[in-house]
Chains A and B, each alone.
Chain A
């Protein structure tokens, strides 16, 4: 089999199946989806194939929204805290609308107005629920504090990765993992 096709199939299988784990394990499944998200760059690098060349952003963002939709579904149907549920739905909608707007306009600043705060928020609530199933965000004030706390690092990440278009994976590979 052609190497590019093999890597493409691997990426599609990994990224297509990983979100199903969210339905069984809300927190661990979410973490595995992040791992699956990084796997496409790693696989392409490790196997020396570039089946997504030129379309990488579109494919990556589509799979991102796909797994975030599973997380949003879990938040809407399984979480009992109305404040956390509403915030999750609003943050997911903002992100999804941002991705669609970016694909239509190509305006990179979109990611600064629609950062993926939803993912960190989801993992915070899902993690807390795995420790304490009755976990609730006590008030609007705590909701704002939570969103700022989990959103601030994400905003910085969006600025560097999507606005400046810095190659984060290459930086990690060369300067942290020392993989040359």
Chain B
């Protein structure tokens, strides 16, 4: 956050989002889905464990 306020952006992130607006949205959705597929079911099962649901 501190670095970004000085205009810093990771070169990796910059490379992946260096494209047109529609493609940028598509890529953002792909990253979101990769994350969601891995972590949303994990989060749900963690919630089940913590709440003691059977």
Residues of A within 8 A of B46 (CB): 156
* Secondary structure type dominating chain A contacts: helix
Alpha-carbon gap, A120 to B53, bound state (A): 25
**What total of chain A residues lie within 8 Å of the partner, measured CB to CB?**
29
Interface string of A45-59 (1 = CB under 8 A from B): 000000000000000
* Secondary structure type dominating chain B contacts: helix
- Asked if A123 contacts B44 (CB within 8 A), the reply is no
- Asked if B33 contacts A31 (CB within 8 A), the reply is yes
Alpha-carbon gap, A34 to B16, bound state (A): 26
- Asked if A150 contacts B38 (CB within 8 A), the reply is yes
> Hey, which bits of chain A sit against chain B, CB under 8 A?
27, 31, 34, 120, 123-124, 127-128, 130-132, 149-150, 152-154, 156-157, 159-161, 164, 166-168, 171-172, 175-176
